[in-house]
């Protein structure tokens, strides 16, 4: 019987799930993912998590709780410190495995090896070796598994850069669908936000699909290459050392400067420090130059769907009106 490892459908799942899945499978594990977000999962997360945490962390608590009922041998929660040289991930990721172990009792063992590439990319070897040891795999086998996982990650990233959303890219990777985009659209909107906010249909109130149904093509910062994002971020007077904030800001400024979108929507989560700063930065740049209409949407566990629908409809009406008026 293979060892069953659970991955929560939360936080950096939207960036790294295909890679982590491949890595763990290459090590001989069976991968189990938590269910799609529901009201029940969110409620459980809110109950177990501290009040001060941001919405995505509360939701991630709910997903870990959901995995605990799936008969898994381990829960995979890498301790994310840095995924790029000279940059950091929000400190909540660093403390997340400890918060989980402290607050949810009776969980299966947690694999919480550290990912810290701030100094040099080769530091990933410590992570692969440590994870491999849970499956009785030596250093070389673990490294080969990781190398295979990196190849999958590259394919996944390329699919995102072709304009697909994570679910669609995953479906193509798994051979379930082909990458086709035959939707009728009359305008393009960029949705900028942390991946766990914009791609989770429940927590985002399905913003991406609502915009698509209303006739818009939707792009996110993840549909841009690293190089293009970095170019956009160069407009900032100082380098942002938070990887995800840099991606969001660089993506938004690039879409704005190139006028490759008709409107930009920034999605922020309640109680997120980085979001309040990046949201402000993006808004100031865009409003100062005024080339593209901009709207801020804040999410919390009480956000009502009707309010979001009204705001999206009004925003699209305004974008369409502006296009005919200028």
Residues forming the site for ligand SF4 (CB under 6 A): 54, 56-57, 90, 92, 194, 269, 272-275
Residue number, 243 or 254, with CB nearest to ligand SF4? 243
Calpha distance 294→250 (Å, rounded): 15
Determine contact, residues 252/287, Cβ cutoff 8 Å: no
Report the nearest approach of ligand SF4 to the CB of residue 325 (Å).
36
Distance CA 235, CA 228 (A): 12
- For ligand SF4, which is the closer residue by CB, 143 or 270? 270
Q: How many helices (H) and strands (E) does the chain have?
A: 13, 10
CB of 35 to ligand SF4, least distance (A): 21
For residue 127, what are the contacts with CB-CB under 8 A and spacing of at least 6? 78, 113, 114, 115
**Could you tell me the CA-to-CA distances from 30 to 60, 72, 74, 97 in Å, in that order?**
21, 9, 10, 21
Closest to 314 (Cα-Cα) out of 201, 206, 210, 185: 210
Radius of gyration, alpha carbons of the chain: 20
Q: How far is the CB of 203 from ligand SF4 (least distance, A)?
A: 11
Nearer to ligand SF4, 206 or 298 (CB): 298
Pick between residue 31 and residue 54 the one whose CB is nearest to ligand SF4.
54
Nearer to ligand SF4, 57 or 264 (CB): 57
**Closest approach of Cβ 241 to ligand SF4, in Å?**
13
Q: Output the CA angle 85-121-221, nearest 5 degrees.
A: 55
**DSSP label of 295:** E
CB of 202 vs ligand SF4, minimal distance in Å: 16
Instruction: Supply the minimum distance, in Å, between the C-beta of residue 279 and ligand SF4.
Output: 11
44 membership: H or E segment, kind and range:
helix 39-48
Closer residue to ligand SF4 in complex, CB, 15/146 = 15
């Amino acid at each position: 019987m293979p060892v069953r490892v659970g991955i929560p459908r939360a936080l950096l799942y939207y960036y790294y799930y295909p890679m982590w899945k491949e890595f763990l499978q290459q090590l001989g594990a069976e991968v189990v993912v938590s269910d799609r977000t529901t009201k029940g999962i969110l409620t459980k997360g809110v109950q177990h998590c501290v009040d001060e945490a941001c919405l995505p962390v509360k939701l991630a608590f709910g997903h870990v709780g959901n995995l605990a009922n799936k008969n898994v041998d381990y829960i995979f929660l890498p301790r994310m410190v840095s995924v790029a040289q000279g940059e950091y991930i929000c400190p909540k990721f660093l403390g997340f495995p400890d918060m989980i172990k402290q607050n949810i009792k009776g969980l299966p063992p947690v694999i919480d090896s550290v990912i810290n590439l701030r100094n040099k990319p080769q530091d990933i070897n410590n992570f692969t070796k440590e994870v491999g040891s849970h499956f009785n795999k030596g250093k070389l086998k673990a490294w080969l598994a990781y190398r295979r996982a990196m190849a999958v990650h590259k394919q996944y990233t390329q699919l995102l850069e072709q304009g697909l959303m994570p679910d669609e890219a995953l479906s193509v990777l798994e051979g379930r669908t082909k990458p086709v985009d035959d939707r009728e659209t009359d305008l393009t909107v960029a949705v900028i936000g942390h991946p766990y906010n914009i791609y989770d249909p429940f927590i985002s109130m399905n913003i991406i699909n609502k915009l698509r149904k209303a006739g818009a093509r939707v792009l996110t910062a993840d549909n841009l290459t690293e190089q293009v994002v970095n170019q956009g971020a160069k407009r900032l007077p100082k380098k942002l050392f938070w990887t995800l904030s840099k991606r969001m800001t660089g993506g938004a400024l690039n879409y704005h400067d190139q006028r490759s979108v008709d409107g930009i929507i920034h999605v922020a989560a309640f109680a997120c420090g980085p979001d309040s700063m990046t949201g402000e930065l993006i808004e100031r740049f865009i409003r100062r130059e005024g080339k593209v209409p901009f709207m801020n949407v804040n999410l919390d566990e009480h956000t009502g769907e009707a309010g979001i629908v009204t705001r999206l409809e009004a925003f699209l009406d305004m974008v369409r009106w502006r296009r005919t008026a200028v």
